[in-house]
């Protein structure tokens, strides 16, 4: 080295002075509680491009460099988990050229994560891609999976990138996985009991691969339909979600005399298991069951959610996980977000942390 001209030396000095000041500042901040999990909705890249009269693609690129700085600040501060909303399932509805550009940018950046000089190697980041990755184009999905595998042994800090994500999709997915597991469990149990001659009233009505549940409460309490009109209420008219399949369950209610007999609970794969009335006291699906299968189960709930551009909507992001989260929405557009926004958010968190802690304990 040592070949910098004066301007270069000056800017280098300035940069290391900046780093030094930042370290001091973070040292001071660390006297108080540091959030464990910081989440970001990166809003305003397009507005930024418009404002600066540059192309939309360039706006996204500015947004990316802003993200890299923010990640650096978070990790320097000792924040262990950072979650970013990179691409919503809703974003697929944007104009195809923009979606394609975004996917190309994503692919480039995801591949970049594995480079020697990337932030991942600098800070020992474990990367998770969170969301319905099947919806992504093949190259993006493959690249994402590669990064997850390659960083699986990192444990210092974690980056969660929500891609093809919405909160409602995450919840539905968790319920579906739960139902699948439960049905396997129950089939095994029935097989076992039937062979003992204890229970043999379980009947398989119709094979369905999975169950879309429009209303969890309702389906939990799903009783064997007394109306016997051939359709089970509550499952009928299930909404079409993300191009998923609609399952209507038809039931041949041949034995009308059975009603008002025992409550039957419907679990995935169309198995009806007759159980005693007491079932209500031990619900089949509990909160922890759903939570366990959430994509975000790999991290604690976020402490701070920052959404840029002054917007205060959550836009279907981490709805399940943000009940005790500090929301902060500075007016700056995402590419304009910098050190001071992070510092300000942490100060707000610290000012309110005893209150937030108390709230968490009340849960």
Instruction: Provide, rounded to whole angstroms, the least separation between the CB of residue 351 and ligand NAG.
Output: 5
Instruction: Provide, rounded to whole angstroms, the least separation between the CB of residue 33 and ligand NAG.
Output: 13
Catalytic residue numbers read: 43
> Which residues in the 40-99 window bind ligand NAG by CB under 6 A?
none
| Closer residue to ligand NAG (CB): 212 or 305 | 305
User: What gap in Å lies between CA 112 and CA 54, rounded to an integer?
Assistant: 24
Using alpha carbons only, give the angle 252, 258, 263 rounded to the nearest 5 degrees: 90
At what angle are helices 96-112 and 56-77 packed, to 10 degrees? 40
| Closer residue to ligand NAG (CB): 153 or 362 | 153
| Closer residue to ligand NAG (CB): 126 or 141 | 126
Instruction: Provide, rounded to whole angstroms, the least separation between the CB of residue 355 and ligand NAG.
Output: 4
Instruction: Output the DSSP codes for 284-306.
Output: SS-HHHHHHTSGGGGSPPPSEEE
| Closer residue to ligand NAG (CB): 122 or 255 | 122
Question: Among residues 66, 78, 67, 65, which one has the least CA distance to residue 26?
Answer: 78
State which of residues 313, 351, 358, 360 lies at the interface with ligand NAG (CB under 6 A). 351
Give the x/- contact pattern for ligand NAG in 132-161, rule: CB under 6 A: ------------------x-xx--------
Compute how many other C-beta atoms are within 10 angstroms of the C-beta atom of residue 157.
19
User: What gap in Å lies between CA 268 and CA 25, rounded to an integer?
Assistant: 54
Instruction: Provide, rounded to whole angstroms, the least separation between the CB of residue 27 and ligand NAG.
Output: 23
Contact call for residue 344 and ligand NAG (CB under 6 A): no
Contact call for residue 352 and ligand NAG (CB under 6 A): yes
| Closer residue to ligand NAG (CB): 116 or 277 | 116
User: What gap in Å lies between CA 197 and CA 64, rounded to an integer?
Assistant: 63
Query: Bridge partners of 275?
Result: 263
Provide the b/e sequence for 229-261 (b: ≥16 CB within 10 Å): eebbebbeebeebeebeebebebebeeeeeeee
Give the x/- contact pattern for ligand NAG in 298-337, rule: CB under 6 A: ----------------------------------------
The sign one gets for the Cα dihedral 204, 205, 206, 211 is: negative
Contact call for residue 355 and ligand NAG (CB under 6 A): yes
Piece in contact with ligand NAG (CB under 6 A), picked from 174-182, 188-196, 254-262, 350-358:
350-358
User: What gap in Å lies between CA 106 and CA 83, rounded to an integer?
Assistant: 16
Tell me if 249 sits within 8 A of 219, measured CB to CB: no
Beta sheet of 203-204, edge-to-edge order: 203-204, 271-275, 263-267
Instruction: Provide, rounded to whole angstroms, the least separation between the CB of residue 295 and ligand NAG.
Output: 21
| Closer residue to ligand NAG (CB): 148 or 208 | 148
Piece in contact with ligand NAG (CB under 6 A), picked from 14-22, 36-44, 205-213, 348-356:
348-356
Instruction: Provide, rounded to whole angstroms, the least separation between the CB of residue 207 and ligand NAG.
Output: 39
Piece in contact with ligand NAG (CB under 6 A), picked from 34-42, 75-83, 130-138, 349-357:
349-357
Radius of gyration in angstroms for the set of CA atoms belonging to the chain, rounded to a whole number: 25
Judged by the rule CB under 6 A, the positions of this chain that interact with ligand NAG are 150, 152-153, 351-352, 355
């Amino acid at each position: 080295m040592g070949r910098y001209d004066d301007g270069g030396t000056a800017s280098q000095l300035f940069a290391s002075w900046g780093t030094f000041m930042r370290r001091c500042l973070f040292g001071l901040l660390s006297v108080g509680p540091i959030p464990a999990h910081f989440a970001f909705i990166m809003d305003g890249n397009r507005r930024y491009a418009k404002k600066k009269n540059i192309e939309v693609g360039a706006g996204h690129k500015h947004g990316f460099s802003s993200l890299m700085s923010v990640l650096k600040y978070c990790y320097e501060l000792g924040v262990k988990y950072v979650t970013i909303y990179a691409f919503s399932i809703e974003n697929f509805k944007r104009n195809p050229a923009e979606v394609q550009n975004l996917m190309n940018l994503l692919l480039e950046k995801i591949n970049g994560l594995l480079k020697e000089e990337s932030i991942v190697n600098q800070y020992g980041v474990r990367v998770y891609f969170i969301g319905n990755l099947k919806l992504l184009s093949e190259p993006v999905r493959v690249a994402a999976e590669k990064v997850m595998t390659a960083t699986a042994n990192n444990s210092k800090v974690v980056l969660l990138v929500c891609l093809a994500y919405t909160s409602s999709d995450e919840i539905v997915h968790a319920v579906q996985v739960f139902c699948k597991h439960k049905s396997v469990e129950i089939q095994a149990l029935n097989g076992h009991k039937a062979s003992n001659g204890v229970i043999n009233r379980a009947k398989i009505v119709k094979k369905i691969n999975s169950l879309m549940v429009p209303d969890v409460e309702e389906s939990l309490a799903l009783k064997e339909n007394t109306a016997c009109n051939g359709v089970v209420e509550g499952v009928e008219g299930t909404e079409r979600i993300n191009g998923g399949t609609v399952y209507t369950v038809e039931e041949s209610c041949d034995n009308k005399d059975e009603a008002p007999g025992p409550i039957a609970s419907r679990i995935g794969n169309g198995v009806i298991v007759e159980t005693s009335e007491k079932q209500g006291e031990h619900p089949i699906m509990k909160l922890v069951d759903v939570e366990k299968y959430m994509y975000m189960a790999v991290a604690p709930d976020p402490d701070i959610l920052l959404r840029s551009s002054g917007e205060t909507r959550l836009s279907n992001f981490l709805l399940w996980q943000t009940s005790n989260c500090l929301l902060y929405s500075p007016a700056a557009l995402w590419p304009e977000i910098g050190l001071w926004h992070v510092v300000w958010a942490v100060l707000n968190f610290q000012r309110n942390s005893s209150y937030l802690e108390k709230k968490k304990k009340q849960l």
